[in-house]
Amino acid sequence: MELGNLTGFSGFFLLGLSEKPALQPLIFGLFLSMYLITVLGNLLIILAVSSDSHLHTPMYFFLSNLSLVDICVASTTIPKMLWNIQTQSKVITYAGCITQMYFFIFSGGLDDFLLAVMAYDRYVAICHPLHYMVIMNSRLCGLLVLMSWIMSALNSLVQTLIVLQLSFCTDFEIPHFFCEIKQMVQLACSDTFLNNMVMYFVAVLLGGGPLAGILYSYSKIVSSIRAIPSAQGKYKAFSTCASHLSVVSLFYGTILGVYLSSAATQSSYSNETASVMYTVVTPMLNPFIYSLRNNDIKRALKRLVGMVAVKVPIILGLKKCT
């Protein structure tokens, strides 16, 4: 990276959601609460799935991976913002900014791929129920998740390496609460044609591809559900994919809101508000969507809480004895 003639460069400045001192405690408390809820909620989903043998199925295997990614999305952006508010500093080092950008792109891409994989899982379960366990075997499930991780990592690596070639001369203020690639490219004083082309290409290929797969899967699911004669059968079939459909709508709806707001207005406030939705709110709501609408998850969570309630007093008693 070239930095013009500036020798005192120490990093970028994250302007955050608001520069008003009176709002900082409120923002800190609100985002700390949402972060703790996000981590705890998604961690409970992972523990519930791993501890209950009845949930060792493809659908819940993908769900636990999605919960892990949601923790990564929130942990990539929120802790640094909370640290800056607490220390009253807006600085993020160049290496820290690049690292944050890499993991954010990686987590967002992985979220996208996993939602497409989960849509395919629901398609097989509803359209080919008799062959479900044969098609969705452990080898295929592992391969689908592995390929999602690899493709997300490669995409993030390519975009990060291209950003490393940019020059930053005089403007180091990022009007955001984290290092977003679009904001980084806009700050550069060198040619950004390649960066813009790669971002558009990735948006069409890696963003539109999974979305097309999701839409195709649900078109087949709707056709299969309509062919079911009884109303009870239709409801049961639809209920198995209602949670996933809600998460997909929330994920793509918030992303669409970010790009529409950035295209319609140049105001950084509207962009930040939309970004909060898909970086903070969506990962926080996903555990609630899956747990509130899923009796299997509810039972597993109750069993997990019961196990903890029994073991904790025993452990504390043993410590007192020693």
In-domain check, residue 32: yes
Can you give the pLDDT at residue 157? 95
In-domain check, residue 309: no
Can you give the pLDDT at residue 5? 38
Can you give the pLDDT at residue 78? 93
In-domain check, residue 301: no
In-domain check, residue 114: yes
Q: Domain span at residue 98?
A: 25-294
Can you give the pLDDT at residue 40? 95
Can you give the pLDDT at residue 7? 41
Longest dimension (CA), the chain: 73
In-domain check, residue 287: yes
Can you give the pLDDT at residue 3? 45
In-domain check, residue 34: yes
In-domain check, residue 191: yes
Can you give the pLDDT at residue 302? 82
Buried b (16+ CB within 10 A) or exposed e, 231-251: eeeeeebeeebebbbebbebb
Domain count for the chain: 1
In-domain check, residue 54: yes
CATH of the domain at 242: 1.20.1070.10
pTM over the 0.85 mark: yes
Which regions of the chain are under pLDDT 70? 1-10, 258-274, 310-322
